[in-house]
Amino acid sequence: MQKKEKVKNYIYIAALAVSMLLLVFFELFKKKIFVGENADATYALATRAIGGVLCLVLVFYCSYHNILKIKGRGFLRALLFTLPCWAVALNNFPIIPFFSGRAYIDAAASAIIFYAVQCLFVGFFEEMAFRGCIFMLVLGRRRKRRLDVFWSIVISSAIFGVIHLVNILVGASPGAVLLQVGYSFLIGGMCSVVLMKTGSIWHCVLLHAVYNFCGGAVPELGGGTIWDTPTVVITAVLAVAVTVYIVVALVRIDPNELGYLFGEENKAIDEKSEVSSHSDL
């Protein structure tokens, strides 16, 4: 058993090393490898994909792989729980300006698909990093009480929000970045609760990807008005309603039932069956 664990650890370490070396290689030879009109976008896509794989390996290494399962049983209930969150993600698209003709998307189909893939890999990387690794790490150390769970969400979401301050270094306006930090914190909190309620990180990945795509589709692939008075009002009302919904869901979470995220139920079953087999002998 110990030999298998050692081999497994060597595989994880090797995968981490290869991923990190690839990231360094891409950074050093960025201008030679990524050329053409979409050079920056392709570079971002490649690094997010590798970063996501790196975090995925860390999830396995830390034994958090239970969150990678897509559970057939209870899937419908999990999906129903996420519906208000999907409303937030879809509402990030300027629906009223778009259908009234004041916002438009005029990019080619290939550009739209490429942007969608970009958003998917950003969602994959950031959710694996912040929910799959950081949130799970913090939650694993403090989940005896509801207050512990609350602070686990606050800490991991704050890190997720603050990390967006780096956008100032690439020329984004401080006001826009501070706004991004704020809504990233809220989205991080929402995704943390979604992870606990559904038991699967893939709900978070898809929500994150769709939220990013809806928010960036018009400015990146077209143009026109994004915000108008009705959109602001609807967004504000929806934000408050979903915040209340998520807070109520959080209050109802029993910290003692979060063991399934860490595979503790399976572990208990394995130990029980092992004791039973020994008693039979």
DSSP string for 22-81: HHHHHHHTHHHHS-STTHHHHHHHHHHHHHHHHHHHHHHHTT-GGGG---STTHHHHHHH
Residues 113 and 184 placed together within one structural domain of the fold? yes
Residue 36's domain spans which residues?
1-63
Q: Is residue 269 very low, low, confident or very high in pLDDT (cuts 50, 70, 90)?
A: very low
Give the span between the Cα atoms of 198 and 258, in whole angstroms: 11
Give the span between the Cα atoms of 165 and 142, in whole angstroms: 27
Residues 42 and 116 placed together within one structural domain of the fold? no
Domain count, the chain: 2
pLDDT tens profile 126-182:
999 999 999 999 999 888 899 999 999 999 999 999 888 877 776 778 888 888 888
Residues 125 and 16 placed together within one structural domain of the fold? no
In the chain, % of residues over pLDDT 70: 93
Give the span between the Cα atoms of 201 and 69, in whole angstroms: 8
| Higher per-residue confidence, 263 vs 96 | 96
Last residue of some domain: 46, 63, 80? Answer: 63
- pLDDT at residue 279, as a whole number: 44
Q: How confident is the prediction for the chain on average, in pLDDT?
A: 88
Nearest Cα residue to 191 out of 91, 251, 241, 123: 123
Lowest mean pLDDT among 40-54, 83-97, 199-213: 40-54
Residue 227, domain member (yes or no): yes
Last residue of some domain: 63, 89, 106? Answer: 63
The mean pLDDT of 107-134, rounded to a whole number, is 95
Residues 87 and 37 placed together within one structural domain of the fold? no
Residues 216 and 255 placed together within one structural domain of the fold? yes
Both tokens assigned to 137: 């790490």
- pLDDT at residue 1, as a whole number: 58
The mean pLDDT of 94-104, rounded to a whole number, is 96
Residues 242 and 111 placed together within one structural domain of the fold? yes
Last residue of some domain: 12, 43, 63? Answer: 63
